[in-house]
């Protein structure tokens, strides 16, 4: 069986198991690279060969998360596609424990204020106001918005899970205007060519505004979501409510934001 045939089998198995489009793309990319080494029996995992493959990725400067992605893809192939019943005893790399980049309320305001395009300004405002991932913003449909309750129904987000989150009443009028004349299945933030905006376009809107606002932090679109969670905690919102709004499966994922709030530092002064 050649490389293309193997990837076709992997793709079908991923789709049958309802993996996300992003995961399918990532796994196929990882395995396409791995199958380039095919001078071994594909039906039997060679643990030493896999280790050398992953170590090579490490030598090339790949992040631990990326190396783990390659390992997950390889394990999926052998366990779920080939049906291997043995063990692949390779431990995952420890992930780097970096704290998320948080934008202050003033920085958020400055970023929003410099955006002159009303639709783009609303897109960034909604992302921060509701704690949305970039994919969730571009996939938001008219039927997912409840202006009367100031709620968004986020459907099939990460992990194929639905959740409900909040939006600010300050945005209700702008949202009403943005959705005017649209059908329930239309995207809230449609592109000029029809259909939804791409995630790359949304990211570029944020990046341009970040530069224009003079914010020097190495922030990304996802920093809006990080800031949403942190600011809620600083406002006294219970961490379990924040967990629900973000759609985290584990409270431990949400608790990282307790490390970057300003609450504990306000009364602390440097001894110098």
Q: Which residues are catalytic?
A: 133, 158, 222, 225, 248, 257
Distance CA 61, CA 240 (A): 37
- Residue 234's Cβ-count burial label (10 Å; 0-12, 13-18, 19+) is middle
Distance CA 180, CA 160 (A): 29
Distance CA 85, CA 107 (A): 53
Backbone angles phi, psi at 98, to 5 degrees: -90, 140
DSSP 189-257: TB-TTSSBPPHHHHHHHHHHHHHHTT--S---THHHHHHHHHHHHHTT--HHHHHHHHT-SSHHHHHGG
């Amino acid at each position: 069986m050649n490389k293309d045939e193997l990837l076709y089998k992997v793709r079908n198995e991923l789709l049958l198991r309802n993996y996300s489009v992003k995961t399918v793309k990532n796994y196929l990319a990882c395995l396409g690279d791995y199958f380039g080494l095919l001078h071994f029996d594909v039906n039997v995992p060679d643990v030493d060969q896999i280790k050398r493959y992953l170590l090579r990725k490490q030598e090339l400067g790949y992040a631990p998360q990326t190396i783990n992605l390659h390992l997950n893809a390889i394990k999926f192939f052998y366990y779920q596609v080939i049906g291997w019943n043995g063990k692949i005893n390779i431990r995952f790399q420890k992930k780097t424990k970096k704290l998320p980049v948080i934008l202050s309320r003033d920085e958020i305001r400055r970023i929003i204020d410099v955006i002159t395009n009303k639709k783009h300004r609303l897109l960034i405002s909604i992302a921060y106001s509701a704690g949305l991932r970039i994919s969730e913003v571009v996939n938001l449909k008219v039927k997912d918005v409840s202006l009367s309750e100031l709620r968004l129904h986020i459907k099939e987000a990460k992990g194929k899970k639905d959740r409900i989150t909040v939006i600010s009443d300050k945005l209700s009028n702008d949202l009403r205007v943005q959705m005017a004349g649209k059908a329930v299945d239309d995207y809230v933030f449609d592109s000029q060519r029809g259909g939804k905006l791409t995630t790359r376009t949304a990211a570029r809107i944020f990046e341009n505004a970040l530069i224009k606002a003079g914010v020097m932090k190495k922030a990304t679109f996802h920093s809006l979501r990080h800031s949403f969670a942190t600011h809620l905690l600083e406002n006294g919102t219970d961490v379990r409510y924040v967990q629900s709004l973000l759609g985290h499966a584990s409270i431990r994922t949400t608790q990282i934001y307790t490390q970057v709030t300003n609450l504990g530092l306000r009364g602390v002064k440097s001894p110098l």
